[in-house]
Structure formats: C-alpha cells, structure tokens
Amino acid sequence: MRLLIVAAAFAGLSSALPTQECCTLLSQLYPTKVYAPDVTAYSTANKRYWSSTCSLKPSCFFEPNTVPEVSAAVKLFSQNNCKFSVTAGGHSTIPGAANNDRGVTVAMVNFQQREIDNSTNIMHLGPGNRFYQAYAEMDKYNKVGVLGRYAQVGTGLLLGAGLSYLNNQEGLGVDNVKAYEVVLANGTVVTASRTSNSDLFKAMKGGGDNFGVVTRYDLQLYDRPATVLGGLITYGEAGMATLEDLTYDYHANVAPNDQQTHVLPNWGYNAATGLREAFVPVFYNKDVSVLPPSLKGWADAPTVKNTVRRTNSISALALENNEGYGNGLVQEQRTFTVYANKQFFHDVNALYLEWSKKYQHIEGFYTLHCNMPITPHAVAEGIRKGGNSLGLAGSKNQTLSVLYFGLSFKNLADTAAVFPAHDEFVESVKKIASDRGILHKYIMWNYSAYNQKVIEGYGPESVAFLKRVSKKYDPTGGFLRLVGGQKLPE
Ligand SMILES: *[C@@H]1O[C@H](CO)[C@@H](O)[C@H](O)[C@H]1NC(C)=O
Ligand SMILES: *[C@@H]1O[C@H](CO)[C@@H](O)[C@H](O)[C@H]1NC(C)=O
Ligand SMILES: *[C@@H]1O[C@H](CO)[C@@H](O)[C@H](O)[C@H]1NC(C)=O
Ligand SMILES: *[C@@H]1O[C@H](CO)[C@@H](O)[C@H](O)[C@H]1NC(C)=O
C-alpha cells in the first residue's frame, strides 16, 4: 500500500489530461518559449530541481517573460483543463509540486526583478530569483529581508512559511510580504495586500500555490548595521554532547529574549564515513566583533571549524550555508512541530541516529536533523502584520520547535526501500511527542513530505477560511484540480 502511494506521487496527478495539445496551443502563442523534450532548454529546465525525485517528464516547459504571458497561459490551462505546475527555485522535495508527468511546467526563471526602494524599504522581487541574488541586492543597501537562509532556495518559500535570520524579531517570511502580484485561474491579474484583496493576501501567507501564480513579491526590508556577525560553526563527535542543551537554551531563552540572534543547529550523519557532524549557522544582527553571552556557548564547545566573523555580506553567509547541497541527489524532507523540550530534543536525535545507521548500505546515504524555533513573539508579529493562514495563533506562550528530518542518497531506485521506512520512523517519534503532551498540530509546508497533511494541520478554522477564499478567487477550482503538490483538503 505504502509503495503504491510513493509510485502515485512520482506519477504526479493520477488522471492525465491531453496536455500534448496544451503544449501545442501554448507554442502557437509563444513559439520560442515552449520547450519540448528533445531540446536542450528542456533538459536544462528539468535539472533546476534540488531533488532528483522532482525531475519528471512534463510534455513541455514554458518559460514566460512577462505577466501578460503568464496570464494568457493560465487562462489557456483553465479553459482546456491542462494539468500544469509552476516552478520558481525548484527546492521543494515533493515530486509533482513544481513539475509533473505529461503536463505543462511553467518555469518562472525569467522573472528576475530585484528593485529596492531605499526610502520605503520595500523590495520588488521577481519569483525567478534565488535568495542569493535577493540578499546580494539588499547588501548594497545594508538592508535585509525575511527570506530563507540558503542561497539556492527560491521564492516559493514566501508562500509556505519562511524560517530566516530575522524570525525572532520580525516573524516568518510570509509575515513580511507586503503584497503578492497574482495571476488568478481565469487569467486576471490582481494585487493581494492588506488593502487590496486582503482575504487572498492572508490566505496566500501559508496557503501556497493553491490560489494563483505569483509574478511579483513586494517585501518588507529592514535596515541593518554596516556589518553583522555571522558564519558557520562545525562540530565533530567531541562537540556533540553539549549541542542539544544549547539548542534547547536557544529555543527557550535566547530566541525569545535576544531577538537579534539566529542559530540553526544541523546534525548530519554520513553513512559513507559512519560519522556524525554538526554544522550550525550562527548570526547576530549587530555591529560587534564578538558573540554576545547568549551565543557564546556555541563557540566554546569543542569545534572543528568556526567561520563566525564580522561581515557586510549576508549573501556570503547564505552561500556558505548552502555548501554541499547541490542538485541531483534524491532528497526527502519530513517535519512536525513540538513545544520546545530538552529531553525530547535529546531522544529524537538519538533515535534518528539509530534509525539512520540501518541504511549504511544505501549509496550516498545521509540524514540531517534540525530543530528550529518559532517564538511567541514571532507568532505575535505574524498577527500584528495582518495575519497568516498557518493556524499558529492561540498556541501556548512557549517557543515552538519545528523538527526537520531530511535524507538524501544517490539512486532513485532506493526510494522504495527508504521512503516508507522514513515515513514510519518520523510518525513513530511524532507519536512519542504526542504521548508526552508536547505535540503541536503545525506541519511546516516547506519541510513537508508529499503525504503529510499540511493544510489540515492549520486547523479547521483556517481550512474553512482557505476554502472560502479559493471559491471566491478560483470558483471552478482550477488550481485545486490542475496543479499537484500540497492541496486544500476536499
Ligand atoms: C540609501 O539612503 C541612505 C540614506 O539616505 C544613503 O546614505 C545611501 O547611500 C543610500 N543607498 C543607496 C545604495 O542608494
Ligand atoms: C515552499 O512552499 C511553497 C508553497 O507554499 C512552494 O510553492 C515552494 O515550492 C516551497 N519551497 C520549498 C523550498 O519547499
Ligand atoms: C509569556 O511568558 C513570558 C515569560 O516566559 C512572560 O514574560 C510573558 O509576559 C508571557 N506572555 C503572555 C502573553 O502571557
Ligand atoms: C476572474 O476571476 C475573478 C475572481 O473570481 C473575478 O473577480 C473576475 O471578475 C474574473 N474576471 C473575468 C474576466 O472573468
């Protein structure tokens, strides 16, 4: 049964529509922008995905340059029931979310706008940018936005959640979007903001690609000092003993009280060497040369390498974080959320290591575990900035921890052996959290697997709201029927 589910996810949507015809119609409109499987541009587009599970077999790729082109295409898809996908950075690991088999895939790669208004602190960002390019532009102004932390990740994150250097102070990535320019299912282009289509605006902050195609993000930026302190600290086995306690302290005490800090603990297990390593991006948004007492423990633990330095370049930090995460391997991510809990942090880490050791025979097998805080203040910032659809409001006054379980390996052929077992493992630790009374219902979209019910996790009130908004802006359910990935519940 489980194996069948995996197979279905790889096949994209189950009921194939006559999309070869959709590609033909589209290429009549834009002959130079529609790529069939036999041209180089098609294979280039199909290799832009981080996970090899997402390089599928669409009938064609379409690479528009303008908003009217996106509008005409989406209208054509709706009118002809064409299965389609939209890809920006291609970093989701859900097969069928941003690509498909026998459909049309719209690659937003040409939407490269990066425009900063120095006086209003608003950035107009095209969906074709990766975060490296966005940060590089912001660096010129000593400004920073609430984006992802990895250079290669793309703008889809700003529809899902958005863990970032500035979360503790400013809330999630979605909370710092000021407006989305959106192509609706019937091709109409609207702006969604606090003052225009405000229901759509709130829905899209977490509701993802269920409502339209984003052609521009308007982002709130923040002035930052000329230099900040940041870098990557790497630990070997000798450092391990202290890291879980430091992680808990960061969640419970540092993140809530010292909001200019950001720490992202990653535990990796490399089956090829049989070794554990931890690498931890550390960031302090102040013009100082030494870490504050609240972060000192990270540098004092036995380290293998520590690159924390004064820097004027956040793009360089994003690039450094990204090292070793190239395209082309099989990737899978799973996640759930708990109230931060020291004992649980220890237990989960030990259990994941034990589980991972069983797969040393899988070529290139590597697992990664992280715990990432969402503080009560971050939740409150989301509400203050207009609200989102994530269902975090009403959580207890304690820091939440988003737990990440990521695995990668070389060959697609091994997915059948590994993915169902990974699912089973993550559900088993989720059950422990539930038994201990620390489980929270939230499942962060951007770390979710294909069969995790993200939107249900936002709670019934949010689900009902999202359904109303979908009915209003997409009355015939084009995005629900024709686009794969995480969908609104039936
Ligand atoms: C932005 O404005 C500030 C303050 O007026 C000015 O000092 C700075 O040079 C401007 N930056 C750019 C890149 O235009
Ligand atoms: C994040 O989620 C959005 C939908 O909310 C999706 O479009 C995007 O591809 C995801 N990005 C990553 C990096 O998972
Ligand atoms: C939340 O807890 C902190 C201390 O843990 C306290 O300072 C704050 O007042 C509490 N906030 C609310 C809304 O209860
Ligand atoms: C397109 O859909 C929107 C949302 O349902 C609606 O307001 C608008 O009138 C429609 N436009 C056309 C041209 O039908």
Residue entry with tokens 């509400």: 383
pLDDT of residue 18: 61
Last residue of a domain, one of 65, 83, 107: 107
In a domain, 385, yes or no: yes
Mean of per-residue pLDDT scores for the chain:
94
Tell me, yes or no, whether 21 and 69 share the same domain: yes
Query: What is the distance in A from the centroid of ligand 1 to the CA of 268?
Result: 41
Tell me, yes or no, whether 177 and 54 share the same domain: no
Tell me, yes or no, whether 270 and 375 share the same domain: yes
Q: Which amino acid appears at position 351 of this protein?
A: L
> CA-CA distances (angstroms) from residue 225 to 67, 228, 370?
36, 6, 28
Decide if pLDDT at 10 tops 60.
no
Closest CA to 176 of 125, 108, 231, 132: 125
Ligand 1 atom at minimal distance to the Cα of residue 118? 1
Tell me, yes or no, whether 182 and 214 share the same domain: yes
Decide if pLDDT at 374 tops 70.
yes
In a domain, 314, yes or no: no
Number of domain units in the chain: 3
Residue entry with tokens 């425009």: 115
pLDDT of residue 356: 96
Burial (CB count within 10 angstroms: exposed 0-12, middle 13-18, buried 19+), residue 397: exposed
Check if 188 has its Cβ closer than 6 Å to any atom of ligand 4.
yes
The per-residue pLDDT for range 141-199, each reduced to its tens digit, is: 999 999 999 999 999 999 999 999 999 999 999 999 999 999 999 999 999 999 999 99
Ligand 4 atom at minimal distance to the Cα of residue 186? 1
Decide if pLDDT at 2 tops 80.
no
Domain range enclosing 139: 114-224+458-474
User: Which-ligand-closest: CA of 394?
Assistant: 3
d(CA 105, CA 82): 11
Q: What is the pTM of this model?
A: 0.94
Average pLDDT over residues 365-384: 97
CA angle, 337 then 338 then 342, to 5°: 135
Decide if pLDDT at 452 tops 50.
yes
325-352: burial string, b at 16+ Cβ within 10 Å, e else: bebebbbbbbbbbbbbbeebbebbbeeb
Q: Whose CA is nearest to atom 13 of ligand 1?
A: 141
The per-residue pLDDT for range 107-137, each reduced to its tens digit, is: 999 999 999 999 999 999 999 999 999 999 9
Q: Which of 1-15, 195-209, 218-232, 316-330 has the lowest mean pLDDT?
A: 1-15
Tell me, yes or no, whether 6 and 16 share the same domain: yes
pLDDT of residue 9: 41
Residue entry with tokens 């059948």: 416
Closest CA to 250 of 402, 373, 403, 379: 373
Check if 473 has its Cβ closer than 6 Å to any atom of ligand 4.
yes
d(CA 272, CA 329): 15
Q: Whose CA is nearest to atom 11 of ligand 1?
A: 141
pLDDT band at 1 (very low <50, low <70, confident <90, very high): very low
Element (DSSP H or E) covering residue 61: strand 60-62
Q: Which of 74-88, 253-267, 319-333 has the lowest mean pLDDT?
A: 319-333
pLDDT band at 317 (very low <50, low <70, confident <90, very high): very high
The per-residue pLDDT for range 71-117, each reduced to its tens digit, is: 999 999 999 999 999 999 999 999 999 999 999 999 999 999 999 99
Decide if pLDDT at 449 tops 60.
yes
Tell me, yes or no, whether 442 and 463 share the same domain: no
110: its two tokens: 């040409």
Residues at CB less than 6 angstroms from ligand 2: 91-92, 97-98, 153, 156-157, 159-160, 208-209, 445-446
Residues at CB less than 6 angstroms from ligand 3: 376, 397
The per-residue pLDDT for range 242-256, each reduced to its tens digit, is: 999 999 999 999 999
In a domain, 301, yes or no: no
Residues sharing a CB contact under 8 Å with residue 423, sequence separation 6 or more, in sequence order: 2, 334, 449, 451
In a domain, 338, yes or no: yes
In a domain, 320, yes or no: no
Decide if pLDDT at 280 tops 70.
yes
203: its two tokens: 């829905």
Average pLDDT over residues 266-295: 94
Tell me, yes or no, whether 145 and 271 share the same domain: no
Element (DSSP H or E) covering residue 439: strand 439-440
Query: What is the distance in A from the centroid of ligand 1 to the CA of 137?
Result: 13
Tell me, yes or no, whether 94 and 137 share the same domain: no
In a domain, 485, yes or no: no
In a domain, 316, yes or no: no
Tell me, yes or no, whether 204 and 263 share the same domain: no
pLDDT of residue 325: 82
Q: Whose CA is nearest to atom 13 of ligand 4?
A: 188
Q: Which of 6-10, 138-142, 207-211, 404-408 has the lowest mean pLDDT?
A: 6-10
Characterize the bridge pairing of strands 104-107 and 84-87.
parallel
C-beta of residue 193 within 8 angstroms of C-beta of residue 178? yes
Question: What proportion of the chain, given as a percentage, has pLDDT over 70?
Answer: 96
pLDDT of residue 271: 85
C-beta of residue 243 within 8 angstroms of C-beta of residue 279? no
338: its two tokens: 């708990």
Decide if pLDDT at 11 tops 80.
no
C-beta of residue 203 within 8 angstroms of C-beta of residue 160? no
Residues sharing a CB contact under 8 Å with residue 428, sequence separation 6 or more, in sequence order: none
Tell me, yes or no, whether 66 and 188 share the same domain: no
